[in-house]
Amino acid sequence: MVPDPVGAGLVASLAHPGGNLTGLSVMATDLSGKRLSLLKEAVPSLSRVALLTNRSLDPNTSKRYVSAHSKAAEAMGLVLHPIEVATPEAIDEAFSAAAADGCDGAIVAGSMLANEGPRVGASALAHRMPAVSIWAEKVRFGLLMSYGQDVSETLVKTAGYAHKILKGAKPADLPVEQPTRLKLAVNLKVANALGLTIPPTLLASADEVIE
């Protein structure tokens, strides 16, 4: 379950993995433009966005995050400020650097940052930074919103892959699946704390609203 299995060189293509690996793509880079547009909709004055990423087993993951978000930001007239977070202890420092650089919003990406939901949310709130994640489950900790795959659906599919392989299927013959359902979660408590008014159209399209 990775952001970009083709870009990471794990599979030849989504339809034909071709090796001994298969699984699920969480479309973390594919949806970069959509997340930025949602943040812009919630924060109309948005002009400078921090992209918080972390080092991973794939050393090129952060580069792909930055490349995808840079292209999307440029198309929207936004300035992107990438910040790589080396350890959980550096999360607050990263938000502090983003605030000092004049960022008025943040995109949070990467497995370590996802695992550190409470710390990320607390830091975002402390620096009054509207932040977006790909994980709806992390929004309740203090992020403004998320847009991405439904984790419950994804985990069920992961179990299905394991079942097929244990029954004798070859990974090379099992296409890598992308999410069939994308979920938008909005935290109104955070919006109120930051003095933001979420447009009714955005709220109406949300799958989950935290009040």
> Is 50 part of any domain?
yes
> Is 160 part of any domain?
no
Order the strands of the 105-108 sheet from edge to edge.
Answer: 79-85, 48-54, 105-108, 131-133, 145-149, 182-187, 208-210
Note the pLDDT of residue 72. Answer: 93
Note the pLDDT of residue 194. Answer: 96
Note the pLDDT of residue 59. Answer: 63
CATH number for the domain spanning 76: value is 3.40.50.2300
Note the pLDDT of residue 93. Answer: 96
In whole angstroms, how far apart are CA 125 and each of 96, 109, 184?
11, 17, 20
| Average confidence (pLDDT) per 10 residues, the chain, 211 residues | 79 91 82 93 96 74 84 95 93 96 94 90 97 91 92 84 93 88 94 96 95 91
CB within 8 Å of 37: residues ≥ 6 apart: 76
Q: Which domain holds residue 113?
A: 32-149
Please state the domain count of the chain. 1
> Is 10 part of any domain?
no
For 149-164, letters b (16+ CB in 10 Å) and e give bebeebeebeeebeee
Note the pLDDT of residue 56. Answer: 63
* Cα diameter, the chain: 55
pTM: 0.86
